[in-house]
Structure 1
Amino acid sequence: MESHQLEAFAAVMSAGSVTGAGKLTGRSQPAVTRLIQELEAEIGYALFDRRGPRVTPTPRAFRLYEEVERSLIGLERIRASALAIGRDDAPPLTVAATPALAASLVPRALAGLSDAHAGAVQLRSASAEQVVQALLARAADAGIATLPLDHAALDLHYLIEAPCVVVMRRDDPLAALPVVSLEALRERRLATVSNRYRLRRRIDDAFGQAGFAPHVALESNASLNAVMAAHAGLAIALVDPATAFGTPVSDVVTRSLDVHIPFYFGVVTAADRRRSDAIEALIDAILQAALGLLPGAIRHDATRHAALLTPMAAPPPSSAKRITA
């Protein structure tokens, strides 16, 4: 299996056609077709259903593409490292993070690094599960993701807890309140996250304790989509504070809730890999960025991972303060 075969396959998956793949790779259409046919002959099954000039990926092609994409990213990382070595530069750091944390915390952390550690960085936004996979596959030097993060092959350095918030349009009646009660959301349309094995579980638990189910008008794998739903007037967003404060949106306001719905995330690295000084500096910089950005954020030792997974582990704060947008 040759790298140029995998590149041709990935190009067809991205472009949606052999002709488009040829333009992306600088190869002729017959050359791309030949590379795909050689790959199919080697693996023993078809990757595309062919109907004249158009091709449709098979279910197996989609499954294979996930592996090929990771491999090509790894090859690109090797290429970048080789060039850095030739210039006597430090190899680029590769960071994998969930979308909210990649957009809000990582750039702030990188901006806070000293000149000695501020080198090139490759930042990949991915699901929490994919962050773990990237570390295990040695495709990332550090990962930042929501809980759970308990894996024998990973070193969990610390955990951050910060309260979830609600985001709404400035002209929404609830925007006049210093703190929004969960009861005030009973009849309101909500936008929030969808992964019920992570933050969404704690959100649903909070409503369950309040005695009613949320009216979710939009759920998404990216909390910024929920914030944009609030911006459009579709719903009130109930999201993590990293998104609310780290990726500000005009014409919306952020308010505290009268119940504490904790948002947890941690920083992890592969247990069997030596951490460079730059990685150590980045781990500390992410902590400082989180404590500086997220109101009410606290650091937990990694040993508390199991305890923090208990739904609604923390009581509501005794005195909530107004959070301004």
Structure 2
Amino acid sequence: MTSPYLDTRQLEAFVAVISIGSMTGAARALGRSQPVVTRLIQELEAELGFPLLHRNGPRISPTQQGVAFYGQAEMILGGLRTIAERARGIAGAAPQPIEIASLPSLAASVVPKVLAGLATGEMPARVHIRTAAAEAIVQAVADRTADIGLTSLPLDNPGVEVHWTAEVPCVAVVACNHRLAGRAELTPGDLVGERLIASHNPYRLRLAINQALGSFDVTPMALIDSNSSPVSIALAREGLGVAVVEPLTMTGLPVAGVAVIPLGFHIPFRFGAITAVGRPLPPLVERLIGDIKAQLAVLVPGYRLLDDADSGKVSELGPVGSGSLGD
């Protein structure tokens, strides 16, 4: 890399090209000429020291490095937009913009309820809710491009402060015509001979699922994994298996055509609220963190706050792959 600094125009050009899929479309969206956009991306590649795009005539696609860098570029630009909006808010004495980085399940369930509880004068002119994977949420908070992070456990980053942690019991979701749809609860044995639909990430919820089933020596017939609870629920609705998911998604976005069944054994989904270490919190941010915690107790059956000892156990769940479903 020839310089420690990146030009925001280069980042904007790259993000636009990846988002739209062509140099021409990106140039049109940015109000620039195509040669200018091409030059900006070439300059960005020279600064970074690796190619961002595969070029085949008019067709382009991101390289592996380009895909990885795209998330970082979006995060940087989002942070810069937030800073600009905050500066305008300070000048006008208006409520400051709020940037929330959240798991999709929490963003679709508790966050709208809490924001709806704000008085008109308390609501900032801009609230940005960014859904992302847990690792990206923690990084965004540590980098101070997000005011509040709502992420799953484990949490072990010196750049973030954990305000509270909690857990909710996972549930099973099946199609309404599934043989298990009428059950009051599911036992581990009910999953024998069934295809399991579960989280892909082996370090978080999937690890808890693996260990719970492994402790009962249960091996489902087959597995479909995904990185999204809504996708898992949609797969279950089509009769493709039994989805084991956190209950938050169904609380925020109920889905027709499925039955939600409590589990007769405990698989916890653990999560928490974080902010950047050493960052003074505006009163509204502090209030939102507390309101989210309180609202979850109303929304989700089985919700409970974790004490420090409970939270610590999350990092001691055992080796990845223990049980019968390791990746």
Is TM > 0.5 for Structure 1 vs Structure 2? Answer: yes
* Equivalent residue number for residue 204 of structure 1: 210
The residue identity in structure 2 corresponding to 1:99 is P
- Residues 3 and 52 (structure 1 numbering): CA distance in 2 closer, same or farther, change over 3 Å? same
**Which residue is 2:322 aligned to?**
none
CA distance in 1, matches of 2:264, 2:16: 50
* Residue pair 1:204, 1:214 contacting (<8 A) in 2 also: no
Task: State the alpha-carbon separation in 2 of the partners of residues 43 and 182 from structure 1.
Answer: 50
Instruction: Return the TM-score normalized by structure 2.
Output: 0.89
Q: 2:310 aligns with which of 300, 304, 315?
A: 304
Matched, 1:32 2:37: yes
Note if 1:6 corresponds to 2:7: no
What secondary structure is seen at the aligned counterpart in 1 of 2:94?
A: coil
Q: Aligned equivalents of 1:173 and 1:48: distance in 2?
A: 49
Name the structure 1 match of 2:159.
153
**2:78 counterpart residue number:** 73
8 Å contact kept, 2:154–2:314:
no
Q: Does 1:289 align with 2:295?
A: yes
Moved over 6 A (4+): none
From the superposition, tell whether residues 261 and 45 of structure 1 become closer, same or farther in structure 2 (CA, over 3 Å): closer
Please list, as runs of the form range in 1=range in 2, the aligned pairs for 1:129-208 lying within 5 A after superposition: 129-208=135-214
Instruction: Indicate whether 1:49 and 2:50 are aligned.
Output: no
Report the number of matched residues.
312
Residue 132 of structure 1 and its aligned partner are, at CA, apart by 0.6
Contact 1:204 1:213 in 2 (8 A): no
Aligned counterpart, 2:64: 59
Structure 1: gaps spanning 5 or more residues: 313-325
Rounded to whole Å, the distance in 2 between the matches of 1:38 and 1:146 is 37
| Percent identity between the two aligned chains | 40
Residue 115 to residue 309, structure 1, CA distance change in 2 (3 Å): farther
Residue number among 241, 245, 259 corresponding to 1:239 in the alignment? 245
Cross-structure match for 2:115 = 110
Structure 2 portions without partners, runs of 5+: 1-5, 319-327
Counterpart AA for 1:129: E
Cα 1:44/1:184, change in 2 over 3 Å: closer
Would you say the 8 A contact 1:117–1:277 is kept in 2? no
Amino acid at match of 2:229: S
State the 1:150 CA deviation. 2.5
Normalising to structure 1: TM-score of the pair? 0.89
* Alpha-carbon spacing, 1:224–1:100, altered in 2? closer, same or farther (3 Å): same
**Deviation per residue, 1:95-125 (Å, 9 max, x gap):** 1111211112211222233455432321110
Which of 84, 98, 103 pairs up with 1:93? 98
Deviation at 1:266, TM superposition (A): 0.8
Instruction: Work out the CA distance in 2 between the residues paired with 1:239 and 1:41.
Output: 44
Tell me: CA distance 1:44–1:131, structure 2 relative to 1, closer, same or farther (3 Å). Answer: closer
Report Cα offsets for 1:53-88 as digits up to 9, x if no partner: 223333333333232222111121122223323432
- Are the structure 2 counterparts of residues 25 and 186 from structure 1 closer, same or farther at C-alpha, using a change threshold of 3 Å? same
Task: Indicate conservation of the 8 Å contact 2:198/2:225, yes or no.
Answer: yes
**In 2, Cα distance between the equivalents of 1:19 and 1:290?**
46
Letter aligned with residue 176 of structure 1: G
Q: Choose which of 246, 249, 253 in structure 1 pairs with 2:255.
A: 249
SS of the aligned residue for 2:95 comes to coil
Partner of 1:318: none
The 1:215–1:118 alpha-carbon spacing in structure 2 relative to 1, beyond 3 Å, is farther
Structure 1 residues 113-161: Cα deviation after superposition (integer angstroms, max 9, x where no partner): 3455432321110111011100111101111111101322221111111
Residue 241 (structure 1) shift: 1.3
Cα deviations across residues 192-227 of structure 1 (Å, max 9, x unaligned)?
111110011111111111112223432111111111
Secondary structure, aligned partner of 1:217? strand
**Is 1:123–2:132 an aligned residue pair?**
no
